[in-house]
Amino acid sequence: MASLGILFLFLSLICISAGNAYSFVNVHCKSQTRGQHGQQSMLDCVVNMAKEAADAEITLVIWKKSGDQKPLVFFHNGELTSVPRFQLAQPSWTKKNMNVSLLINGTTPSDIGEYELQVVTTSGDSSSKARLSVTAKYNEPTVRSNPEKDIPPNTDVTLFCSSDGGFPQGKLRWFDADNHDWTSSSEMEVKQTADNLFQLSSKLTLLKGSVFSKYTCTVLSASGTKEGETKFEVPLTPVKEGQESSLASASRVVAPVVVIGSLIVGLLMALLFFKKRNQRGHPVPQDQDV
């Protein structure tokens, strides 16, 4: 690739050569492009030539990201060079080809931003800009519980949900079996990985007596679009066969016994009360000497 000194020289020539020839050349780029993480993205740009310049040829093409000095794609004197992952979209591009679109392979969030294109032809020059945004879909959420299994009734339970691989930052939401929103009772944590993608995790604490049998964790994109959900059944301890009926039978026996016992205790206390009362009202006579 040519040195930066040569690059600056040609940029100066672009400014000098503008003049009257500028009207013969017009570079038009699609202003906004949305790319997908891991996929190819293309910034569409075409050089439009006036009829008077129909036979013009391209002598210089410079693609670079705004703020960077190093070109991503550089064409001059018949030589085309580019940095990894970036190239002109036309695989067999020539100086007569007016399609100067930029192809980005393996798009990542680091590619987000504005790009500048400079084109010089034998009939004049022009420039344009294009902006790239990037999105990445979140993976299906995974849900687990603490305790992990055989949770006894009337026990505090904590549910954990996580989803990663998305961009921009999304959010997780919780719903019970009746589709009631429990998100306000949860705590969410957000981390950004080395590849600039987001990892979301959420913790939902359920107090004993408020635990439903099923919950759903849903992951939403930054725009609020649902990108995945996972239904989770809380591993409550199952009631063994016959245990429920035995408990019911015991309840039917215990309840009458308690009632009868209470009545007996009440009667005994009443008899004791009346006995003491009679003893105070009728004193026992004493023997007298004859």
Q: Which two tokens stand for residue 9?
A: 């020289």
**What was the pLDDT predicted at 152?**
87
DSSP letter, residue 219: E
Contact 34, 137 (CB under 8 A): no
Kindly report the pTM of this predicted structure. Answer: 0.70
What distance in Å separates the CA atoms of residue 89 and residue 82, rounded to the nearest whole number? Answer: 12
Same domain flag for 112 and 162: no
**What was the pLDDT predicted at 277?**
58
**What was the pLDDT predicted at 261?**
56
Q: Which two tokens stand for residue 129?
A: 């800009």
CA distances in angstroms from 151 to 160, 203, 228, listed in the order given = 15, 18, 27
Same domain flag for 86 and 161: no
Same domain flag for 149 and 223: yes
Contact 158, 146 (CB under 8 A): yes
Domain-located, residue 246: no
Same domain flag for 131 and 148: no
What is the chain's pLDDT, residue by residue, as a tens digit (290 residues)? 445 444 444 444 444 444 444 468 999 999 999 999 999 999 999 999 988 888 899 999 999 999 999 999 999 989 999 999 999 999 899 999 999 999 999 999 999 999 999 999 999 999 999 999 999 999 999 999 999 988 888 889 999 999 999 999 999 999 999 999 999 999 999 999 999 999 999 999 999 877 888 999 999 999 999 999 999 999 988 756 555 444 444 445 444 444 465 566 566 676 665 666 565 555 544 444 43
Same domain flag for 204 and 155: yes
Give how many domains the chain has, as a whole number: 2
**What was the pLDDT predicted at 110?**
95
Helix (H, G, I), strand (E, B) or coil at 182: coil
Domain interval for residue 183: 142-233
Which of 158, 165, 163 shows the shortest CA–CA distance to 182? 158
The dihedrals phi and psi of 270, each to the nearest 5 degrees, come to: -65, -45
DSSP letter, residue 241: T
Single residue among 66, 100, 135 that ends a domain in this structure: 135
Q: How many residues are recorded in the chain?
A: 290
CA 238 to chain centre: 34
Same domain flag for 97 and 187: no
What distance in Å separates the CA atoms of residue 24 and residue 53, rounded to the nearest whole number? Answer: 6
Helix (H, G, I), strand (E, B) or coil at 232: strand
CA 104 to chain centre: 24
